[in-house]
Structure 1
């Protein structure tokens, strides 16, 4: 008998042993448990749906529910992840989609890592493409960064100093993301501050820092070269990345747009694309990359850009 069951904590061992254990070699059991058993309040009372046949797992769809403050308004989000149906059960895939219709009436629904098959099905349900193109911020020297930055700022890394300085909405982001191995940075000048949330991604043998949340775009724009140089030096990474949709109005010295192999998905009538970030999603929780193996591509681009990167400013 085929049934659709809400995913709650008691179902996690079956999810892990049946599928998750082999889904991502860089994520262990506790990493996955944190994705399916998150600590903040969840009014839905579950974290997705599992499809079972005679108590055997044959499909699943993870969901991360969150309440966000967007442009001063409270908005509900649901991020889909780990959407999987066993091949011999694909004929019942629509069963997994039924809950999405009711959720879409109250939630902005996102999916940042869909495969082509899921992307095609989701579009029939009213999902649209959400650009996942990245802006790659190339390395620059500390002296150049200091000269390019337009504000003298202090960088604060210690959690016990960051949390008390945050507003209520950002303090909730900080607290909710504590179980996950992600980066928090507070930048302060004489007049304002900017809270930054990022991940240190180590995939495809190409480490980089991915900025997901920027609290104050004005201060960020003034000191972006120093932020970039500091993150690269602190984590010994190749570059810093941001979603291109978050870069409007920012002058990003020595950067390039990187082609997007595929788009993410969104279904929303209330939230603009530019206000959608990767917080409260598997991309942040598991420090996933939204890029393919780009090592060869970047080597080629670096060779093309070498004359510009080495010339004096």
Structure 2
């Protein structure tokens, strides 16, 4: 499966990285890792899936994240069999967080809903050191965990070794904010970051400019993509995107605001 995804879907991602992503760092058991379309001894198609169990409002919810979907050109007519196989599994909330253009209307016909992905681009400016406001950014893994507790600590431990997830903590006075982000591409340039999780949105609103500057100076990332549903408030100097990338989910139990981007291909696959 890993070699197929490397050769047929994204050659920038080595087979070894695909192989590691197939078994995500948080997963103890799962019903499968997705489904394959096989003819003889040759793989013709793959739909990779990531599974997790989350506590939502005091109840355990099972998630299935639809990740990489790739079918050889000559077998495209059979590709829907993979999607049907995944969706035939009962009891899951399904997420599709990076659907391509032609997948969006297909998902809609299968009762997926669009999430509100209102997105702004924030230029990462070289802000002065935050000693006057007692603000600093922590990136050392051992130190990060020492500042976290409860849900944020669990999230960090589950994703600490996920290939696409990067972790920082904003410290300001006696407050802290855990931030998870991934590198992203726009116009095929890997110069952007996307924020996946913010543990303390109020502190992020006040001190996020220091994190943006840190991404520029320490990661060479020139701009950050932030979704309102993740950060709650856009910075004043943000530029709203006219056509943000779609994200979708299907659930008989959860509301859109209960769906996030953790435990998914966004944290596991560094495309």
> TM-score if structure 1 supplies the norm length?
0.75
1:209 to 193, 197, 205: 193
Task: Indicate how the Cα distance of structure 1 residues 270 and 52 shifts in structure 2: closer, same or farther if over 3 A, else same.
Answer: same
In the alignment, what sits opposite 1:220?
204
Q: Does 1:285 align with 2:268?
A: yes
In the alignment, what sits opposite 1:55?
41
Structure with bigger helix share is 1
2:114 to 121, 129, 134: 129
1:154: Cα distance to partner?
3.3
1:284: Cα distance to partner?
2.8
Is 2:48–2:69's contact at 8 Å kept on the other side of the alignment? yes
Is 1:209–1:232's contact at 8 Å kept on the other side of the alignment? no
Q: Does 1:153 align with 2:140?
A: no
Is 1:200–1:235's contact at 8 Å kept on the other side of the alignment? no
Q: Does 1:188 align with 2:137?
A: no
Q: Report the number of matched residues.
A: 269
Is 1:232–1:238's contact at 8 Å kept on the other side of the alignment? yes
Q: Does 1:170 align with 2:155?
A: no
Is 2:25–2:158's contact at 8 Å kept on the other side of the alignment? yes
Is 2:182–2:194's contact at 8 Å kept on the other side of the alignment? yes
Distance 1:243 1:107 in 2: 25
1:240 to 217, 224, 228: 224
Larger radius of gyration: 1
Gaps of 5+ in 1: 1-14, 289-313
1:32: Cα distance to partner?
0.4
SS in 2 for 1:211: strand
> TM-score if structure 2 supplies the norm length?
0.85
Distance 2:230 2:130 in 1: 23
RMSD: 2.8
Q: Does 1:38 align with 2:24?
A: yes
Deviation sequence 1:256-286 (CA, Å, 0-9, x none): 1112265222112433434433322223323
Deviation sequence 1:47-74 (CA, Å, 0-9, x none): 1011112232122211011223445654
Distance 1:285 1:51 in 2: 23
Higher relative contact order (CA 8 A, sep 6+): 2
Is 1:137–1:239's contact at 8 Å kept on the other side of the alignment? yes
Gaps of 5+ in 2: none
In the alignment, what sits opposite 1:98?
84
SS in 1 for 2:218: helix
Higher mean C-alpha displacement, 88-97 vs 217-226? 88-97
User: What are the residue-to-residue correspondences of 1:99-118 with 2, within 5 Å?
Assistant: 99-103=85-89, 105-118=90-103
Is 1:200–1:207's contact at 8 Å kept on the other side of the alignment? yes
In the alignment, what sits opposite 2:248?
265
Higher mean C-alpha displacement, 70-79 vs 44-53? 70-79
Task: Indicate how the Cα distance of structure 1 residues 236 and 88 shifts in structure 2: closer, same or farther if over 3 A, else same.
Answer: closer
Structure with bigger strand share is 2
Higher mean C-alpha displacement, 235-244 vs 264-273? 264-273
In the alignment, what sits opposite 1:85?
71
Distance 1:140 1:255 in 2: 12
